[in-house]
Amino acid sequence: MEPPAFDLSGIATPAYVVDLGLLRRNLEKLAHVQQQADCTILLALKGFSMFSTFPLVRQYLRGCCASGIHEALLAHEEFQGEVHVYAPAFKPEEMQRLLPISHHLSFNSPAQWQRYRPVLEAWRAQHGRAPSPGLRVNPEHSEVEVALYDPCSPGCRLGTRAAALEGHDLSGLEGLHFHALCEQNSDVLERMLQAVEARFSHLLRQVRWVNMGGGHHITRADYDIDRLIRVVQGFKSRWPGVQVYLEPGEAVALNTGWLIASVLDIVGAPGDEANPPTAILDTSATAHMPDTLEMPYRPHVIGSGQPGEFPHTYQLGGLTCLAGDVIHRYSFPEPLQLGQKLVFTDMAHYTMVKTTMFNGVPHPDIATFDPATDRYQVVRRFGYEDFKRRLS
Q: What is the pLDDT of residues 173-228, one digit of tens each?
A: 999 999 999 999 999 999 999 999 999 999 999 999 999 999 999 999 999 999 99
Amino acid 148: pLDDT = 87
Ranges assigned E (strand) in the chain: 15-19, 40-41, 43-44, 63-66, 82-86, 104-107, 132-136, 175-177, 209-211, 243-246, 257-267, 278-281, 312-317, 326-332, 341-345, 365-370, 375-380
Amino acid 382: pLDDT = 97
Buried b (16+ CB within 10 A) or exposed e, 295-334: eeeebebbebeeeeeeeebbbbbbbbebeebbbebbbbee
The DSSP code for 212 is: -
Instruction: Identify the CA nearest to 89 among candidates 73, 70, 68, 120.
Output: 68
Q: Which residues of the chain have pLDDT under 70?
A: none
Query: Domains, the chain, ranges and CATH?
Result: 38-253 (3.20.20.10), 257-347+355-389 (2.40.37.10)
Amino acid 296: pLDDT = 80
Amino acid 249: pLDDT = 86
3-state helix, strand, coil in the chain (%, to 5): 30, 20, 45
* Single-letter code of the amino acid located at 131: P
